[in-house]
Structure 1
Amino acid sequence: MVALLCSNLSWSANLDKGPGTLDPILQKDYIQNIMHKVADWQLDSWTKTGFRHAKVDWTNAACYTGLYALGSMPNNEKYLTFLVDIGNSLNWNTGRDRFMADDYCIGQTYSLLYTKYQDKKMIAPFRLLADSIVAKPHDESLEWKNKIQSREWAWCDALFMGPTALSYLSTATGDPKYLETAVKLWWKTTEYLYDPVERLYSRDGSYLNKTEKNGKKVFWSRGNGWVMGGLVRVLDNMPLDHPERKKFETQYKEMMAKIVSIQQPDGSWHASLLDPESYPIKETSGTGFYTYAILWGLNNNLIDAKTYWPVAKKAWAALTTAVHPDGMLGYVQRIGGAPDSVTETSTEVYGVGSFLLAGTQLYDYMATHPKAK
């Protein structure tokens, strides 16, 4: 850990102008450079060793969201070109399990690319699928049985995968029906999995009554990170006068207040939100999504800077010190559905996605608040 920290500090030392100046890790050059470093490591890994998961898989699809955000910054077209090449290689199709949110998470990137390039082939297959999703009754119980995940958003992770894909499609096509379905199903999942007292989501129905070693309920960091990331991405596609917008904003503020209250001293969040001592080390995929959501709220004037900017700064510091000298992002919990251990060398593509989403929001914030310290 010490070597990793020293490497990142020395890498940015040339940006430190001396006492009283902006923290070097908040300078725009640093933010963009470390995002390039992390993104390029991921692209290089894919190029040299191939994709560990199918290109269409939710793991990669979450990474694509961050790559798109980085690619949308000036002079970063190569990341968008990479995403277009992936779409072409997949013929712009989603996954085989047609109605499982994981398998159409990639739809949000397709819609974003279509919005930029206006090539109808980019959304044609997904739009047909989305029409089928809208037409379904969605009247099943969300109990975790009978492969319900293949038909409904019955697990909290799905709130980053499904409603985002439908919401971006509404923006891309101008057809509100996809957003309306996303809104309806968001609240269905929320009614079942959201704990209004703790202001957190259980991962799925099988976790509603599970507890950690300290007796607190099991609330998984990345799972709730998925929710927060999905929440702000739905809001990004929701008109300001939408009748449900205030309700979404209220939930965002409720959850954000809770998340901030359980941030760890080093700025991160551990794998188990209410029992951090059972997993006594930072976890960067959950931390990345929370950092993204906090900075999005600051950029969209939903939360106050006095309370939340110090939280965002500490969280960004925790993320940057997890970046290895070659650009690999460490401390990412492996694929799973519950809190688990992490190490300095554990990494996964969705962690990269959350890091890039957070970094682009921070870059935007510093662009409009250049004296923020």
Structure 2
Amino acid sequence: MKKALWLILSIACVTGLMAGRRPDRKLMIEQMVLVNERFMAQHPVAGDSIRINGVRPSNIWTRSVYMEGLLALNEVAPQPRYVEYAMDWAVANLWGFRGGSHTRNADNQCCAQVYIDLYRLHEDAQVLGNTERMLNNVVNSTERGDWSWIDALQMAMPVYAKMGVVKQDIRYFRTMRELYGYTRDCAGQVGLFNTIDGLWWRDADFIPPYKEPNGKNCYWSRGNGWVMAALARTIDEMERAEDLFVGGEKQEIADIKKLLTDDFLAMAFSVKKCQRSDGFWNCSLTDEFHYGGPETTGTALFLYGMAWGMRNGVLSDDVFGEPALKAWNALMHDAVHPDGFLGYVQGTGKEPKDGQPVGYDSKPDFEDFAIGCYLLAGAEMIKFLTQ
């Protein structure tokens, strides 16, 4: 009875909050399709090499994040050609990795998230051979210091959780917990998660005494966005895993899930405090004058995390509904051009000064990952608003 009352009050609260300002689902999908169509038209062959500042295979992290977003779009606006495009990309890359199946670089492992999601749609065990070999290479070793920068969490952590669910093998979860623990508590000698601020230093280079020009700790927007998205995507898999294990292994899953959920909650409240009045977040979360101004990728990733958290009952609608709505309206009305180009995207880098200038018309070095972030955010917002 109490749970039902809470649900009624929660729905009433968020409905009242968004009355008259709730985004129209049809318009949301139309705009997401517009952004995606522009990209697919420019890249008609999914597996073609990426020729930006050199030649790279198309299974690098930037394109992998785009594919994550494409499959998310397919969940709310299904089109067979979306899955076909992702399948063509995977096949062109032989379901493999830059650096081969022995790579331990998290950026190279990101594509496995898409491989596993495609497997779930088609259940062809052969397509996961390279992914299983790559992960087992890490699982069977004793080294756990791979993730020394926070972007790595989004690139690789969900891969272990997804494979742990697919194989129903606790070893993948244990290894993931150890790798995450290194990033959180040991990298840079003190760990990259500042539990006091509820935010993450990007890597050891930004741990104090490094400061922003205003004297505050430096927390990079997109880096923290990667972590928030990684936690959401991984907790999602932990929930699937809870019904797959029994006894002590089931308790291990519960303990890992609690750790990740506690960190997610701490982040969410800290990130909320950093939001701009226009709905965006700055490149720097603590210094609005250090390359200040709207930034799309961090904003999209924070929105993705908030929408996921509310939809799954991890975050309160009445606390996070307003920030989420402001963020989506900012992306929808201010970032997207009439032709589907995304503005205010910071290019690749690792801190506020990289990939500058960031403006409405500025073109980043890589835009594929930004489109992926935007599609992930939009799809999750639609799921939240329509559930």
TM tier relative to shorter chain: 0.7 to 0.9
2:201 is aligned to 202
1:32 aligned to which of 29, 33, 47: 29
Distance across 2 between alignment mates of 1:336 and 1:211: 18
* Deviations 1:172-221 (CA, angstroms, capped at 9, x unpaired): 23223222211221121011111111111111111112211101111100
Q: Quote the residue 2:359 is aligned against.
A: 343
Map residues 221-260 of structure 1 onto 2, 5 A cutoff: 221-239=221-239, 240=242, 242-260=254-272
Change (3 A) 1:184 1:119: same
Match of 2:21 in 1: 23
Q: Say which of 340, 360, 377 aligns to 1:327.
A: 340
Partners of 1:46 and 1:74 in 2: CA distance? 20
Matching of residue 90 in structure 1 with residue 93 in structure 2: yes
Decide whether the 8 Å contact of 1:92 with 1:121 is kept in 2: no
Does the 8 Å contact 2:160/2:173 carry over to 1? yes
**Whole-angstrom CA distance in 1 between matches of 2:319 and 2:351:** 29
Deviation (angstroms), 1:21: 6.4
1:163-242 residue pairs with structure 2 within 5 A?
163-191=157-185, 192-209=191-208, 210-239=210-239, 240=242, 242=254
Preserved contact between residue 144 and residue 179 of structure 2 (Cα < 8 Å) = no
Q: Choose from 263, 279, 283 the match for 1:271.
A: 283
Specify which of 360, 369, 372 is matched with residue 379 of structure 2.
360
**Match of 1:271, SS?**
coil
Question: Per-residue CA shift, 1:34-54, capped at 9, x if unaligned?
Answer: 111111111112228973453
Q: Deviation string for 1:128-173 (max 9, x for gaps)?
A: 1110011121255xxxxxxxxxxx1000000001111111122223
Q: Compute the displacement of 1:121 (Å).
A: 2.6
Identical pairs, percent: 29
Q: Counterpart in 1 of 2:295?
A: 283
C-alpha contact 1:27 1:366 (8 A) present in aligned 2: no
Distance in 1 (alpha carbons) for counterparts of 2:338 and 2:173: 41
Helix, strand or coil: the match of 2:322?
A: helix
C-alpha offsets along residues 66-113 of structure 1, whole Å, 9 cap, x if unaligned?
A: 111112335322211100000000110011171100001000100011
> May I ask how many residue pairs the two structures share in their alignment?
337
Distance in 1, Cα, partners of 2:19 & 2:341? 29
Q: Which residue of 2 aligns with 1:6?
A: none
* Partner Cα distance (1:123, 1:60) in 2: 19
Q: Which runs of 5+ in 1 are unaligned?
A: 1-19, 141-151, 369-373
Return the letter of the residue paired with 2:81: K
Q: TM-score, normalised by structure 2?
A: 0.83
Contact between 1:72 and 1:80, CA under 8 Å: does it hold in 2?
Answer: no
Instruction: Name whichever of 296-305 and 68-77 sits farther off.
Output: 68-77
**Alignment deviations for residues 269-318 of structure 1 (CA, whole Å, 9 cap, x no partner):** 11001002222211111111000000000000011111100000000011
Structure 2: runs of 5 or more not aligned: 1-17, 186-190, 243-249
